[in-house]
């Protein structure tokens, strides 16, 4: 007879992990989100994208935000970036209210936001020159960041000559070159294939370990969130509200072998419970499929579903 394996709780932390969280919580608070709400007016009525969201991140912390599609993740990060204003509540960065975009926040979003007509180096130099650094200083600064993301050989290449993963590494270098306090990332690796994605994830962790940067990273991917984050903010949709802030009990430094560790699996199980709790939805799909099963698609369709499943 099969017995179900008993998984430890995601709340259990080994001593080293507990110590790391104790230290993390003693670090300065960089980002403070207080009672944040966002309502959109649409022709169909008012949509509450975010409702009373509260959380904080500490210096050099890596926070991932996860939740079903439409739960307000992008709205939240756009408010943190100052691209959108809240309907209620406030965002404090280093204790000061965020009222618009600023160089203290770097952004890397999905898709490629590089300027296609500029080389890698010029893309990274762009923000530096906007800050009125001289061309020589901008160039040497830019080259340091390009080095950091391992693309020194491609400094004079154009974006179309790079792979998707390389482009996102340039986007990271460009965001970091402005020396932000915090890096805001909205599904930055969503368009990459699994292998490339694994590589850039490892790169990002390595960069984060080596510089003083706090990261807020949105993803759909549970494995990605657990692999990267110190803590994971789980949102629920309609309206977008905080379900839980999870402390990831997986040791650092992280490595892909940990994907099958009990701590990793326990965290994943918890995230799945929080994000896909509704059985009704599955039943609904069953109903819809049953409806289709009774529909004849064309005269030349013979047999029924059993033939396909046989």
Residues engaged in binding Mg ion (CB under 5 A): 73-74
Nearer to ligand ATP, 73 or 169 (CB): 73
In terms of Cα–Cα distance, which of 65, 13, 26 is closest to 220?
65
Whether the Cβ atoms of residue 65 and residue 235 lie closer than 8 Å to each other: yes
Q: How many CB atoms lie within 10 A of CB 20?
A: 15
Q: Please report whether residue 74 would count as binding ligand ATP according to CB under 6 A.
A: yes
Residues 209-248 that bind ligand ATP (CB under 6 A): none
Decide the pairing of beta strands 45-58 and 96-97.
unpaired
Tell me which of Mg ion, ligand ATP, none is bound by residue 138, counting a contact when its beta carbon lies within the kind-specific cut-off of 5 to 8 angstroms.
none
Nearest distance, CB of residue 142 and ligand ATP, angstroms: 31
Q: Which position among 37, 51, 57, 75 is part of the footprint of ligand ATP (CB under 6 A)?
A: 75
Whether the Cβ atoms of residue 247 and residue 22 lie closer than 8 Å to each other: no
Q: Please report whether residue 295 would count as binding ligand ATP according to CB under 6 A.
A: no
Q: Please report whether residue 204 would count as binding ligand ATP according to CB under 6 A.
A: no
Q: Please report whether residue 44 would count as binding ligand ATP according to CB under 6 A.
A: no
Q: Please report whether residue 168 would count as binding ligand ATP according to CB under 6 A.
A: no
Tell me which of Mg ion, ligand ATP, none is bound by residue 123, counting a contact when its beta carbon lies within the kind-specific cut-off of 5 to 8 angstroms.
none
What does 103-125 look like in DSSP terms, one character per residue?
A: TTEEEEESS--S-TTS-HHHHHH
Nearest distance, CB of residue 220 and Mg ion, angstroms: 9
Q: Please report whether residue 72 would count as binding ligand ATP according to CB under 6 A.
A: yes
Q: Please report whether residue 47 would count as binding ligand ATP according to CB under 6 A.
A: yes
Taken in order 234, 170, 99, 209, the sign of the CA dihedral is positive
Q: Which position among 3, 26, 69, 195 is part of the footprint of ligand ATP (CB under 6 A)?
A: 69
* Integer Cα distance of 306 and 184 in angstroms: 49
Nearest distance, CB of residue 165 and Mg ion, angstroms: 21
Q: How many CB atoms lie within 10 A of CB 127?
A: 21
Q: Please report whether residue 42 would count as binding ligand ATP according to CB under 6 A.
A: yes
Q: Which two tokens mark 153?
A: 């050989």
Task: Name, in order, each residue with C-beta under 8 angstroms of 287's C-beta and a sequence gap of 6 or more.
Answer: none
Task: Name, in order, each residue with C-beta under 8 angstroms of 286's C-beta and a sequence gap of 6 or more.
Answer: none
Q: Which position among 71, 120, 204, 233 is part of the footprint of ligand ATP (CB under 6 A)?
A: 71
Binding interface with ligand ATP (CB under 6 A): 40, 42, 47, 49, 67, 69-75
């Amino acid at each position: 007879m099969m017995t179900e394996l008993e998984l430890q709780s995601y709340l259990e932390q080994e001593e080293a992990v507990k110590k790391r969280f104790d230290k993390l919580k003693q670090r300065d608070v960089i980002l403070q989100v207080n009672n944040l709400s966002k309502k959109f007016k649409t022709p169909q009525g008012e949509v509450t994208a975010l409702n009373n969201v509260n959380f904080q991140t500490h210096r050099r912390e890596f926070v991932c935000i996860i939740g079903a599609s439409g739960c307000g993740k992008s709205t939240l990060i756009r408010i943190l970036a100052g691209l959108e204003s809240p309907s209620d509540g406030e965002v404090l960065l280093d204790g000061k209210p965020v009222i618009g975009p600023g160089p203290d926040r770097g952004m890397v979003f999905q898709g490629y936001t590089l300027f296609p007509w500029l080389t890698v180096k010029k893309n990274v130099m762009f923000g530096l020159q906007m800050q009125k650094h001289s061309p020589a200083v901008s160039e040497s600064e830019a080259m340091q960041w390009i080095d950091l993301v391992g693309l020194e050989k491609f400094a004079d290449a154009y974006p179309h000559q790079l792979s998707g993963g390389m482009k996102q590494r340039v986007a990271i270098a460009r965001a970091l070159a402005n020396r932000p306090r915090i890096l805001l990332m909205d599904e930055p690796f969503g368009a990459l294939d699994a292998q490339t994605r694994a590589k850039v994830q490892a790169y990002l962790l390595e960069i984060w370990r080596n510089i003083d940067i706090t990261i807020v990273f949105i993803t759909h991917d549970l494995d990605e969130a657990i692999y990267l984050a110190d803590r994971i903010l789980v949102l629920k949709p309609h309206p977008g509200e905080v379900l839980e802030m999870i402390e990831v009990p997986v040791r650092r430094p992280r490595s892909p072998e940990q994907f099958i560790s009990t701590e990793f699996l326990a965290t994943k199980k918890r995230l799945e419970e929080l994000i896909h709790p509704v059985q009704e939805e599955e039943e609904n799909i069953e109903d819809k499929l049953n409806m289709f099963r009774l529909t004849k698609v064309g005269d030349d369709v013979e047999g029924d579903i059993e033939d396909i499943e046989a």
